[in-house]
A and B are shown apart, each in its own frame.
Chain A
Amino acid sequence: DTGVSQDPRHKITKRGQNVTFRCDPISEHNRLYWYRQTLGQGPEFLTYFQNEAQLEKSRLLSDRFSAERPKGSFSTLEIQRTEQGDSAMYLCASSGAAGEETQYFGPGTRLLVL
């Protein structure tokens, strides 16, 4: 049973560039979450998918951010026109159906915007 995977693990980009991250959840999990974690802080919720439907978005998710889960399996998080304040760890988590709520996290993508 493979866990949650994320790609890439590290990304360095210049301000103004677009970046895209991918998350592959645990295969039987229909719930998928994205979180952002800045240095010294706990993760903060960004958005949630149940199957392919994006059901909740945090106000942290500005217009420059977009997330998709086209076939209810893997998900992508895109940041357009990156800013230095976007530098953070982006964590993906997945969980099973209601009643199996534990979220299992991937290794994260560490983004540095220069």
Chain B
Amino acid sequence: AQKITQTQPGMFVQEKEAVTLDCTYDTSDPSYGLFWYKQPSSGEMIFLIYQGSYDQQNATEGRYSLNFQKARKSANLVISASQLGDSAMYFCAMREGGGGTSYGKLTFGQGTILTVHP
């Protein structure tokens, strides 16, 4: 079974509008972390936002917020006020196990290509 599922191969959004990128995950570990990364065409993976499984509040970082629904095992990324520079591939990733004891390897989804139109 896929541990991280991103069902949207591609998404389009108008500049200045908000967009939601979907991510569902599968784990039986009570302690885990969820990450979103952006990968522009240059190839570098850029960290955007992190949500821990025990965090009570949804994570926010500037224009990025993570809509964490633990019971549904979903961790959707919301980008507000889209900009042309947001056009890129976006990956959802999970780290299973507590940070103090696990080795921290990430499992990635297939990614969603976001295109922002002017």
Interface residues of B in 16-66 (CB under 8 A from A): 33, 35, 37, 42-47, 50
In whole Å, how far is B103's beta carbon from the nearest beta carbon of chain A?
Answer: 5
Quick check: B47 and A102 within 8 Å, CB to CB?
yes
Partner of A45, one of B33, B46, B47, B105: B105
Quick check: B33 and A101 within 8 Å, CB to CB?
yes
Any chain B CB within 8 A of the CB of A107? Answer: yes
Give chain B's interface residue range (CB within 8 Å of chain A): 20 to 34
Quick check: A42 and B105 within 8 Å, CB to CB?
no
Interface residues of B in 76-118 (CB under 8 A from A): 91, 93, 95, 99-101, 103-111
Quick check: A89 and B99 within 8 Å, CB to CB?
no
Identity of the chain B residue whose Cβ is nearest the Cβ of A47 in the assembled complex: B105
Identity of the chain A residue whose Cβ is nearest the Cβ of B44 in the assembled complex: A107
Interface residues of A in 20-71 (CB under 8 A from B): 31, 33, 35, 40-45, 48, 50, 55-56
Interface residues of A in 72-114 (CB under 8 A from B): 89, 91, 93, 95, 98-99, 101-108, 110
Interface contact tally, CB-CB below 8 A: 67
Partner of B44, one of A50, A99, A108: A108
| Interface size counted on chain A using CB atoms at 8 A | 28
A-B pairs, 9 with minimum CB distance? A42-B108, A105-B45, A98-B100, A45-B105, A101-B99, A107-B44, A98-B99, A108-B43, A48-B103
Identity of the chain A residue whose Cβ is nearest the Cβ of B101 in the assembled complex: A98
Quick check: A105 and B37 within 8 Å, CB to CB?
yes
Residues of A within 8 A of B107 (CB): 45
Quick check: A42 and B104 within 8 Å, CB to CB?
no
Quick check: A48 and B44 within 8 Å, CB to CB?
no
Q: Knowing A48-B103, A56-B103, A101-B95, say if A106 contacts B44 (CB, 8 Å).
A: yes
Task: Give complex CA distance A43, B35 in Å.
Answer: 13
